[in-house]
Amino acid sequence: MYDCLSNAYENHQDAFLATYGNLSEDDYANMADQLGFIDEQPLIDYESAYGYSSYRSALSTAEDIWLAAGANPSGNPYLNDVFVAEVMATMFNADGAAIIDGVIIYYAPSGDVYEIPHTDCDLYDCIRAGQPIVILEKLSSSKLPPFRPADRSMPLRIRLSTMTITTDMYFGK
């Protein structure tokens, strides 16, 4: 699905560029505004087709609010953006999560990535709420092996079975 959405996004932009790419940067931007060209239209269409608010959409809304409030650099919502590509951000919900083949993939605002097996929504809620004690209790009851990272100061992503955890859950920041 990612490839299809990525191709639709690129083709949409390429078609506009092929027609108006010979214009100066300012004239190009003016033409896009005049014609109502929305470069993210394929992404918006995807979100509409599946009826959900994506991470891309939530970030875009946060950016609009930030710009309207004066665009203080320290409040830039893109400072905490966990996705590099807009297409990928479109495929995840506003919280940065998606269910793929029965596994919740969650990109936390911290940059940590969690893969939660069996669509365990209780564990997902604990992770989102930042409840490491509850997370550890759930992990210990699942009989996953403990680990001891060599360097606790370095961000670490470790997959135990199909669950990804970080050193922060064990040792705090």
Q: Which residue has the higher pLDDT, 149 or 99?
A: 99
pLDDT score recorded for residue 103: 83
pLDDT score recorded for residue 138: 52
CA–CA dist 111, 144 (Å, integer) = 23
pLDDT score recorded for residue 167: 42
pLDDT score recorded for residue 132: 59
pLDDT score recorded for residue 43: 95
- Mean pLDDT of the 33-49 span: 94
pLDDT score recorded for residue 13: 95
pLDDT tens readout for residues 86-144: 899 999 999 889 988 888 888 888 777 888 877 778 888 878 887 655 555 555 444 44
Q: Which residues pair with 114 in a beta bridge?
A: 106
pTM above 0.75, yes or no: no
pLDDT score recorded for residue 42: 95
pLDDT score recorded for residue 133: 52
pLDDT score recorded for residue 130: 74
Cα→Cα distances 137→27, 52, 104, 118, 165, Å: 59, 32, 19, 17, 13
Sheet containing 113-116: order of strands: 97-100, 103-107, 113-116
Of 127, 122, 126, 159, which is closest to residue 144 (Cα–Cα)? Answer: 159
User: Contact, 139 vs 159, CB < 8 A?
Assistant: no
Domain parsing of the chain, residue ranges: 2-90, 96-171
Of 88, 138, 134, 128, which is closest to residue 108 (Cα–Cα)? Answer: 128
Q: Which residues contact residue 159 at a Cβ distance below 8 angstroms, ignoring those fewer than 6 apart?
A: 115
CA–CA dist 131, 139 (Å, integer) = 12
pLDDT score recorded for residue 85: 86
